[in-house]
Structure 1
Amino acid sequence: MVTNIPNRIHIIGSVGSGKTTLARTLSAQFHIPYYELDNVVWERAKPDDIRRSDADRDAMLISIINTKCWIIEGAHLKWVSPSFRLADLIIFLNPSYSTITYRIITRFIKQRLRLEQAHYTPSWGMFKKMFEWSAAFQREGRYQIQDTLEDYPGKVIVVKSHRQLMQQLKQWIPSIEHQERTSG
């Protein structure tokens, strides 16, 4: 039994950095609910999603972070400071640009083939936006995140590679080492 599991985890990074995958993995392993910040910003509706007001978005975030256990993931930075303050652990996923590019392309293909579900329509326009967001992250976003996270010493982990992430996860999830040996 692992006892050093953080109860409140905030995962931040660029589009394609692995935030949702990591949140799902940790949620399943630790039995902690996870929340996608995009679903806090957007009310999912047909035919088009509806952007929540800043007040509604902020109230929804506060209601999540006032619970005992949570995992929050997203690329959002400015309005999420309350979750950074309450987090036991902040994971900044900062893989290489080539890794992010590969993930954006493979995600798009899987979504277009209906092998992976999306909260949005995987259009060519959205595909282009993901590259624009990724480029903006490389130019300035990652530096803004680094600067912001300096205010939370002792609870930030910066992860640049899958190997580094696996090493960190081994501290919390004993079965990871076995899974890594049998899968690779």
Structure 2
Amino acid sequence: MKIRIIGPVGSGKTTFANALSKQTGIPVTALDTLNWHRMVTGDVHKTPAERQTELNHVLRQNHWIIEGTQYRHGQAVFGAADIIYVLDVPLWLNIFRLITRWLDTRMNHGPRQYQQIWPYVKWLKQWYRYDKLAVLALLTPYRDKVKIVKAFDKIKTLE
């Protein structure tokens, strides 16, 4: 099974991917891992060649779950996926999750990339204004394998 999960920041992509992985034993790849070198001094973008090499390695596997907001690079993932989940939870829930993630990170000295909230608010705003429509248009050729998930309680119970 090849699964692609997409949605805005704070929509539950990672939680959903990990739950599916636990149910199925299929490994999860986060697009953030393919796109960034995580460093103590700050994140650095991987080169397009590095990203493509790592993505191709994942795509060659018989089973995978790939989750992330990114859609401009690696569009071949949508074509290769057996099922595409688009997480479309309410905006208030995204904002709530962003704030709780930020607070948790600040209080517990979590990953550096989550210590700033404003870039995530900006990305969330961009998703609801532009990216969501762009993603849905991009997925038109794959509509038979697209599942739109609107309620988080349903995310936890999908099988």
Alignment of 1:74 onto 2:64: no
How many angstroms apart in 2 are the aligned matches of 1:52 and 1:122?
A: 19
How many angstroms apart in 2 are the aligned matches of 1:122 and 1:74?
A: 15
Q: Given residue 139 of structure 2, which amino acid in structure 1 is its aligned partner?
A: L
Q: TM-score, length-normalised on structure 1?
A: 0.81
The percent identity for this pair of structures is 31
- Secondary structure, counterpart of 1:157 in structure 2: strand
| Alignment coverage as a number of residue pairs | 159
Structure index of larger Rg: 1
- Secondary structure, counterpart of 1:106 in structure 2: helix
1:137 to 123, 127, 138: 127
**Partner of 2:79 in structure 1?**
85
- Secondary structure, counterpart of 1:154 in structure 2: helix
**What are the ranges of 5 or more consecutive residues in structure 2 without an aligned counterpart?**
none
Aligned residues: CA RMSD: 1.5
How many angstroms apart in 1 are the aligned matches of 2:156 and 2:103?
A: 26
How many angstroms apart in 2 are the aligned matches of 1:72 and 1:121?
A: 20
**What are the ranges of 5 or more consecutive residues in structure 1 without an aligned counterpart?**
1-6, 173-184
Alignment of 1:46 onto 2:40: yes
What is the CA distance between 1:166 and its match in structure 2? 4.3
Q: Given residue 134 of structure 1, which amino acid in structure 2 is its aligned partner?
A: L
Q: Deviation per CA, 1:112-133, whole angstroms, max 9, x where unpaired?
A: 1228x43x3433xx20111111
What is the CA distance between 1:163 and its match in structure 2? 3.4
Question: 89-98 or 37-46, which moves further after superposition?
Answer: 37-46
Q: Given residue 144 of structure 1, which amino acid in structure 2 is its aligned partner?
A: A
What is the CA distance between 1:90 and its match in structure 2? 0.4
Q: TM-score, length-normalised on structure 2?
A: 0.93
How many angstroms apart in 2 are the aligned matches of 1:40 and 1:62?
A: 11
Alignment of 1:17 onto 2:29: no
Q: Is the 8 A contact 2:101 2:114 kept in 1?
A: no
Aligned pairs (5 A) from 1:118-157 = 118=111, 120-123=112-115, 126-157=116-147
Post-superposition, which runs of at least 4 consecutive aligned residues in structure 1 deviate over 4 A?
A: none
